[in-house]
Amino acid sequence: MPTYIVLLGPPGAGKGTQAAVISEEMGLAHISSGDIFRENLKAQTELGKMAQEYMNRGELVPDDVTIAMIRERLSRPDCVAGALLDGFPRTPAQAKALDEMLATLGGKVNLVPLISVPAEVLVERLGGRWTCRAQGHVYHAKYNPPKQAGVCDIDGSELYQREDDQPATVERRIRVYSEQTAPLIEYYRDLDLLCEVDGTQPIEKVTEALLQAVRSIAGK
């Protein structure tokens, strides 16, 4: 039976950083809704151009568009063993749609790690984040610096600061998270799937805690 993990947490909590390691370790496809939107924007698709308007305002892309995009992504062959979802679902409607999608794939959500980080830390993290232009690898000027400033350690491409990491947009994103995504914490707690991890620890410690949680459900 495939394994599906939903990584929950506010903007800048470290979902992308952790998802890259955990998905590789567990042999799961890493599905980041934000990355898919950014790839579409880079390729100037209609989806990318539409999503950009919402992303630049720090708002959520409409549910119907996002759900259809994830449904298509989950149907691809690399998801046969399951997937680690990073940034999806983000609303109760998306969570419900995910349950339905996974049921048709013969699976269900197996675990929901919540990376908890207070708002003031998030602002500092996003203000210092540098992202790789080619593949979205993530660095931080202070907490996870690249070996050479402005250059990705992994693929040598240029590092840039995301448009939506401007302070005013970060504030809006955090508000949107509290209003529209935080209700999912109770949704998954009620289903006994939630596992809270202290995201203020160093990156490696957060990875350790997440791996322990994820390994405990593997095969269940």
- Catalytically active residues are 15, 90, 129, 162, 173
Query: Do 101 and 74 touch, CB atoms closer than 8 A?
Result: yes
**At closest approach, how far in Å is the CB of 131 from ligand AP5?**
7
- 152-191: which residues touch ligand AP5 (CB under 6 A)? 164, 173
CA angle, residues 121, 205, 198, in degrees to nearest 5: 45
Residue 104 C-beta: closest distance to ligand AP5, Å: 19
Candidate ranges 14-22, 153-161, 189-197, 208-216; the one touching ligand AP5 (CB under 6 A): 14-22
Closest residue to ligand AP5 in the complex (CB): 34
Q: Which is nearer to ligand AP5, 4 or 139 (CB)?
A: 139
Nearer to ligand AP5, 16 or 82 (CB): 16
Cα–Cα dist 40/60, whole Å: 16
**Taking CB under 6 A as the rule, does residue 60 contact ligand AP5?**
yes
Residue 55 within binding range of ligand AP5, rule CB under 6 A: yes
Q: Is 138 in the site for ligand AP5 (CB under 6 A)?
A: yes
C-alpha dist (Å) from residue 158 to 35, 38, 42, 139: 17, 16, 14, 12
Least Å distance, CB 88 to ligand AP5, is 4
Q: Smallest Cα–Cα separation from 28: which of 96, 86, 87?
A: 86
Q: Give the residue among 62, 76, 69 at the shortest CA–CA distance from 98.
A: 69
Chain residues binding ligand AP5 by CB under 6 A are 9, 11-17, 33-34, 37, 54-55, 58-61, 66, 87-88, 90, 94, 125, 128-129, 138-140, 143-144, 164, 173, 199, 202-203, 206
